[in-house]
Amino acid sequence: MKPVEIQLLGKKYYFRSDNPEGLLETAKYLEEQLEELNKRFNTVDQSKLFAMYSLMITEKFFTEKENNKKLNNEIEQINKLLSGMAEADL
């Protein structure tokens, strides 16, 4: 694991990672999102920004999780139909 320094909202954080480039890219994206929130809500409270962003990401996660569940159900239905068609051809 390699040491990685990232900066978020002017604060430095130190991590170790097997994928430092990926971590830096992720940190850059996070910094952009936090700056966007900061502009939108005009707050200097970093804890509030991190909490708001965490809630937004969690909400998105649950939405995507539900979408994934629906897609998996549709795939199962399609597979059942395809299995039924294959059996009918026999």
Number of domains forming the structure of the chain: 1
Q: Where are the alpha helices (DSSP H) in 1-90?
A: 20-41, 46-89
Using CA atoms, how far residue 76 sits from 15, 82, 84, in Å, is 41, 10, 12
Predicted pLDDT at 36: 92
Q: Domain range spanning residue 62?
A: 2-89
Q: How many CB atoms lie within 10 A of CB 57?
A: 12
- Main-chain dihedrals φ then ψ at residue 42, nearest 5 degrees: 45, 60
pLDDT of the chain, 90 residues: tens digit per residue: 999 999 998 899 999 999 999 999 999 999 999 999 998 888 878 899 999 999 999 999 999 999 999 999 999 999 999 988 877 766
Beta pairing partners, 2? 17
